Structure 1
Amino acid sequence: MSMEVVNAVGRRKAAVARVYVKPGKGNITINQKPLDTYFPLEIFQYVVKQPLLVTSTTENFDITITLDGGGIKGQAEAARLGIARALCEIDAEMRPVLKKNGFMTRDPREVERKKPGQPGARRKFQFSKR
């Protein structure tokens, strides 16, 4: 187990999470705020902690995350990917269990751009015969 800070990046939609993992006692800080202040909803706290829960390393590391861009869900999932990638760098043995749970896959779905002459990406204006 490495004693220095391991960093990784996680992305999802427009959100970017820079994750710094060091040995500690389980504190998670996001943009200088504790996890439960930054993500008041339990579900997003759970999403961020998922890689730690499946590898049962919740109490082993202190994690500092810098989140930028996107919305609340995208940010939570970006943080999850970043944490999973950092854990793999620390201990390659964790990789199979993280991969099996789908935490190592970058979700490629992005918002499609709005096209000119249309109200949205795919939506067309109402057709009128006359």
Structure 2
Amino acid sequence: MTVTSTGKRKTAKARATVEEGEGTLRINSRPLHVQQKAIKERVKEPLIIAGEEIYGDLNIQVTSEGGGIQGQAEAIRMAIARGLVEYTDSDDLERDFRDYDRNMMVEDPRRTETRKPSQSSKGARHKQQKSYR
């Protein structure tokens, strides 16, 4: 059985495929131990919560794109957690993920505010500086 799940954080997107195998985890076709430290730490969280007995015999392939390193790490973490829950069909596992961090199962709706017209390009609410003297 193969399960595909997605995760999003800001502009980063991740897609995870969970299937039976020998217990490998690959992110963008590279094993976990080759990834940056920020990604490693965040991605291990759902695996630690799930436990070796659940993910030990599963192959997890993740592709991520967009956003920055931290946003991609969060998106990957969400995709893996959702994939494990869907693969095992376990309410207890989903409850454990939600208790640890709700953002493992639920997307964060916050997005960048759009820039307003007739203002500088520094941000959504940045105004031109003016002198009163």
Q: TM-score range by the shorter chain?
A: 0.7 to 0.9
Which residue is 1:129 aligned to? 132
Cα distance in 2 for residues equivalent to 1:36 and 1:121: 39
Counting only pairs closer than 5 Å after superposition, residues 97-112 of structure 1 correspond to structure 2 as: 97-102=96-101, 103-112=104-113
Is the helix fraction higher in 1 or 2?
Answer: 2
- Counterpart pick for 2:32 among 30, 35, 40: 35
Query: What is the identity percentage for the equivalent residue pairs of Structure 1 and Structure 2?
Result: 40
Under a length normalisation based on structure 2, what TM-score does the superposition of the two structures give?
A: 0.84
Cα distance in 2 for residues equivalent to 1:82 and 1:40: 18
Alignment length (residue pairs): 125
Unaligned runs of 5+ in 2: none
Under a length normalisation based on structure 1, what TM-score does the superposition of the two structures give?
A: 0.86
Counting only pairs closer than 5 Å after superposition, residues 60-79 of structure 1 correspond to structure 2 as: 60-79=57-76
Cα distance in 1 for residues equivalent to 2:59 and 2:44: 12
Counting only pairs closer than 5 Å after superposition, residues 76-115 of structure 1 correspond to structure 2 as: 76-91=73-88, 92=90, 93-102=92-101, 103-115=104-116
Alignment RMSD, CA only? 1.6
Counterpart secondary structure, 1:11? strand
**Deviation of the 1:106 alpha carbon:** 1.0
